[in-house]
Structures are given as C-alpha cells and as structure tokens.
Amino acid sequence: MTEEKKKIRSLDDLRKIKEKTGDLTSARSEVDKVKVIIGMGTCGIAAGAREIMNAVLKELEVRNLHNVAVETTGCIGMCQNEPLLDVIRPGEPRITYCAVTPPDVSRIVSEHIVNGRIVQDKLYGRAD
C-alpha cells in the first residue's frame, strides 16, 4: 500500500502510470467512446465547472474506465443552469445535466455512463 502513496514528482513517475494503462486506451477508437462535455465558460467556471471536471476524472480513474472522452465547451447561453455536463453514449442522443455537483458526478458515471440509465433528477434535456 505504501507503494501506491508514492508522490508523483517527475516525468518518469508519469511514464510508469502510462506503462500501466497505455495498452487499454490505444485499443479503442474515438467513435466507440462515451463523450462527456463540461461547460467551461466564465459562468460555468464561476458555478464550479472545474470542480466537476476534477470529480469526473477522479471517478473515471477510480472505476478504471478508459472508454470515455472528456471535453469542455464554452458558454451556451444557459448560464443560470451551470454547471452543465453532457453525456453522449455512442449511438444515443445527447443528454444534458444541469446544476451538477461533485456528488452527482459519481451517480452520472455509474448510472448513465456505465449502465445507460439517465439520472432523471439532474436532467435538463436531450437533443436527438
């Protein structure tokens, strides 16, 4: 366990993580991936979008999920509903979640990204 707690200080430390996970990511093409898009305009940032990004990456890491592409976008004019987070599973409509908090992220990842069930109480809408 002490091995895992070792601090990441150098590029070499990062290379070691890469060696462990490298093969998992390269095998998948972009079209097979679930897309997660986080609004990162001034409004999103002020509402906590960066913390949502942190939570998404942490959750994906903990669950060892490699088939997810995380992206950001600017303000889309729904500032009062930020932070906004969209999920697009391959071949499915784009689902927009609003007023997302870090605890919501683990539900969205486990329910929607992994199991394909939309988290209804955080739903803003869907675009087909």
> Within 13 Å of residue 103, how many CA atoms lie on the same side as its CB?
0
* Count of positions on this chain that bind other proteins (CB under 8 A): 40
Structure-block tokens of residue 115 = 């199991």
| Contacting residues for 75 by C-beta, under 8 A, at least 6 apart | 39, 41, 42, 43, 44
Q: Judged by CB under 8 A, which of 2, 4, 5, 11 binds other proteins?
A: 11
The 50-89 site mask, x for binding other proteins (CB under 8 A), equals: xx-xx--xx-xx--xxx-xxxxx-xx--------------
| Contacting residues for 59 by C-beta, under 8 A, at least 6 apart | 105, 106, 109
Question: Of 8 and 123, which CB lies nearer to other proteins in the complex structure?
Answer: 8
Residue 1's identity, in one-letter code, is M
Q: How far is the CB of 39 from other proteins (least distance, A)?
A: 11
Is residue 99 close enough to count as binding other proteins by CB under 8 A?
A: no
Rounded Cα–Cα distance for residues 84 and 120 (Å): 14
Residues near other proteins (CB under 8 A) are: 7-11, 13-15, 17-18, 20-22, 25-26, 38, 40-43, 45-46, 50-51, 53-54, 57-58, 60-61, 64-66, 68-72, 74-75
